[in-house]
């Protein structure tokens, strides 16, 4: 899988490179981007995503209260603020309350 990661104080974005099928704590979802947004999403979320070049229809969003520059990469996952994005498929166990993994990696 070819992708990238962008981080700032208010936004952490995992770009999967193409629209992929993800499995989340809420069930399956299609998305190219997984965005962790600091603070409550609010009614201006779509505008905030578009300002950063993220199409709202292709972006899975998680609001978090944590410092997004304090993310980790562990066990094949990008982890920040109680959210883990598993890039290499389903993990043996999920260690955060919110998660997404890429299916078919």
H or E, element range at 40 = none
Domain boundaries, the chain: 4-102
pTM above 0.85, yes or no: yes
Average pLDDT over residues 32-45: 90
Contact by Cβ (8 Å): 63, 39: yes
Mean of the pLDDT values across residues 10-17? Answer: 94
Mean pLDDT, all residues of the chain: 92
Checking if the pLDDT of 43 tops 60, the result is yes
Q: What is the structure's pLDDT at 105?
A: 61
Distance CA 39, CA 88 (A): 28
Q: Give the mean pLDDT of 42-50.
A: 89
Is it the case that residue 104 has pLDDT exceeding 70? yes
């Amino acid at each position: 899988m070819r992708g990238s990661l962008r981080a700032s104080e208010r936004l952490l974005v995992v770009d999967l490179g193409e629209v992929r099928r993800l499995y989340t704590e809420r069930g399956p979802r299609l998305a190219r981007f997984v965005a962790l947004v600091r603070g409550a999403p609010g009614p201006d979320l779509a505008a905030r995503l578009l300002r950063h070049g993220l199409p709202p229809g292709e972006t899975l969003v998680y609001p978090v209260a944590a410092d997004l520059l304090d993310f980790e990469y562990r066990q094949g996952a990008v982890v920040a603020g109680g959210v883990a994005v598993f890039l290499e498929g389903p993990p043996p166990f999920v260690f955060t309350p919110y998660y997404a993994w890429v299916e078919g990696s």
